[in-house]
Amino acid sequence: MDVPPERPEPDLKGSEAAERLVRQARLAQTRGQSQAAADLYRQAAAAAPEDASLLATVGEGLLELRRVQEAKRILESAKALAPDDANVERAFAKAVLAAAAGEWGAFPSDAHGLDYASAKSATVLTLLVPGLGQLVVGQTSKGLLLGGGWLLCLVAAVLLPNGVSGLLRMAMGQLSAPLNLAVLLPLAGMFVFWLVAVYDMNAQARKARPDRRERPKPPVDLPFE
């Protein structure tokens, strides 16, 4: 009969440091500082790599930030450390479902976990190349679909006989140059993919508003006791 391997004991000092980092990450998360929260979660996982319970907490935090693949990797490590832990199993199941569902919930709602600066920068990139902004913020399947669709339409427009070349000749003054009107279809497709990509990233930027909560000013006019 095979004896299951002993579960490694987590380092107590490392676990305490990791728990402090998790508390800081949650605080940053409530303030809308998504990138800072994700960095703190990563530091917590690195501080206590043998603590399955803490890794599960980190994985769930990253899931809330929509770092799905990263959360799944961390939860796989937690599951390897504690295969019979119900909390770890539940968190891992959530990560697997999130990874299987991909990034296509409601189209603009993928902004959860994006900070304002990242979303605005991604919007600018999307204006230049459709899908590029989505790729930068980690929405790979969406970015590939939008960018790939736009690129296919561009290739079709260029390769179509007397398509783009005909439009260019007409723009240069050769009004009698032959023009294949079928080129309008891929050009329209390019515009649609561009418009959808820009609308999606702009919607995410609106959802990822900067933290504008007013905080009380420290008292500066109180006498020292």
pLDDT tens digits, 121-157: 888 888 999 998 888 877 888 889 999 999 999 898 8
37: closest CA among 66, 69, 8, 6? 66
Q: Quote the pLDDT of residue 114.
A: 57
**CA–CA separation, 52 and 46 (whole Å):** 12
Q: Quote the pLDDT of residue 147.
A: 92
pLDDT tens for each residue of 152-174 = 998 988 888 877 777 777 778 77
pLDDT tens for each residue of 3-49 = 555 555 555 667 788 888 999 998 988 888 888 888 999 999 898 88
Is pTM, for the whole model, over 0.85?
no
Residues 143 and 149 sit within 8 Å (Cβ to Cβ):
no
Q: Does domain 12-101 have CATH number 2.30.31.20?
A: no
**How is the chain split into domains, by residue range?**
12-101, 108-207
**CA–CA separation, 39 and 36 (whole Å):** 5
Among all chains, which residue has been given the structure tokens 């799905």?
A: 68
Residue 6, CA atoms < 13 Å, CB-side half-sphere: 3
Is the pLDDT at 200 greater than 80, yes or no?
A: yes
